[in-house]
Chain A
Amino acid sequence: MTANGVPSPAEITQTIYDCVTRVKLDLDPSRLSPEIGFRELGLSSIEAITVIFEIEETFDIILVDAGLDDFKNIAHGTQIICSLLARREAAAG
């Protein structure tokens, strides 16, 4: 957690990993890395959608309705979530 209460990029990446393994129970966690995409991990379309849902629920953010749910890879996802959380923190003052 950073000083202002926003999770660090490393924490966000770990949370995305957790969301993926929660949905894809038979996935070998050692395959997870910032560079890998959902498709390369073998997620079906419904599984990928479910991972995005889990991320939205965990961080209490909106990705789908904002058109931000098309992650190129996990690092890209971390980046999007980081900026959404920072923007929310700034708006909360």
Chain B
Amino acid sequence: MTSLTRRYDGSHRVVVTGMGAVSGFGVGTERLWAGVASGGSAIGPVVRTFEGMSVTVPAAIAPYQPLDHFTSSELQICEPFVQLGRMAAREALGQAGLAGDADALAGAGVILGCGGGGELTREETAIQLFHRRRPRAHPLTVPRTNHQAVVSHIAAEHGIQGPSFVISTGCASGSHAIAQAVATVRHGYAERALAGGVEYNAIYAVMRAFDAARTVARDTCRPFSAGRGGFAFGEGAGVLVIETMEAARRRGAAIHAEVAGIGLSTDVADPVQPTVAGPVRALETALADAAVAPADIAYVNAHGTGTQLNDVVETHVVKLVFGDHARRLMMSSTKSQIGHCFGAAGALELITTILGMAAGVVPPTANYVAPDPDCDLDYVIEGARRQPFATAVSESFAFGGLNAALVVRRDR
């Protein structure tokens, strides 16, 4: 039985002891980092078809063979978003040295972000009911599509019996989930948790939906660059093992970073257009929570969708929060490399930030072609930059004006 040490002031320090990732660069954090450090991009044209109709969008698709990781029986009930989450969780637990540690995992939690849940089965169900006009949906439709399937399958696989749930706040889901997991561990409601996000939605109907909102780029994602035209789709999962510093030290675990601050805010303005005030509030809250001065932040992993509006607003936000220091800090968009992984984005971007901190290399912004006068900060456009940094912040903003910022620092 995991011992619980409640701290009503939330004074447990929370550290990352394991990470797992599946992204357009492949299965595993090693492949993610190799891709990020190469400066390249996993984004390419992806075609989805339905009875003679087709849609093509730029996307970074996670290359994996489901049967290499799951039995046929598991695949019957596990949608790809669940598969991706399970794969990332396995890697994270293995890296943390917790795989098979029943005692350490019994009281742990699984808190993941996910935007769409089982979009694939939902699309198949719509075809079955409305197109084929059949009277019955597949009996596994509900357990396959439920967002919470991902956390329950991970919990069942590893014997994790503490608090498990999914947070669904679109593009900010992963960051919100990590923030919630950090709060849970800080206060001692669980000593450790798997936190992160998953998404699989590069399918016909979802591509059509985002395309109709005119948010998707024609060719690729070019954040902060002149000529940018929106985001590219991405799919994947990012999962971090977080635990109290005390617990990590007790068991002699390697500590990758401390999640030092969380900041959450709401725009209360427009369903789709971001404000400046909302993200500023999230960032300032996160910095205050971490008790770090703006000048201590060396790197910002931007939300960086590559839409006209986001990148200008985000640049403005950073200038407001960081003042003169905005010209000195480095800011880049991992979405230029692995696409917009929606519910997984915040988690994969935080993992990228932590991997960069560990390597002493700043993740780049890929696909940049020319300056935009309204985006005039250092976006690390020349490729991954060899430069150690010790404190960073990762930002996520969702439709509906829901914002999250996470401050991480190298373990001291």
Residues of A at the B interface (CB closer than 8 Å) are 23, 25-26, 46, 49-50, 53, 56-57, 62, 64-65
Contact = CB atoms under 8 A, between A and B. Distances in A.
Given A23-B76, A49-B139, 8 more contacts: A46-B140, A46-B143, A50-B139, A50-B140, A53-B136, A53-B138, A53-B139, A57-B134
B252 interface: no
A49 B136 CA distance: 11
A62 B139 contact: no
Contacts, number: 21
Contacts of B76: 23, 25
13 contacts: A25-B71, A25-B76, A26-B73, A46-B139, A46-B143, A50-B139, A50-B140, A53-B136, A53-B138, A56-B136, A57-B134, A62-B135, A64-B136
B3 interface: no
B387 interface: no
Contacts of A56: 136
The majority secondary structure among interface residues of chain A is: helix
A5 B13 CA distance: 72
Interface of B: 71-73, 76, 134-136, 138-140, 143
B138 A65 contact: no
B142 to A, nearest CB: 10
B135 A65 contact: yes
A23 B73 CA distance: 8
A50 B136 CA distance: 11
Nearest to B134: A57
B72 A25 contact: yes
A78 B182 CA distance: 57
A53 B72 CA distance: 19
Nearest to B143: A46
A17 B264 CA distance: 54
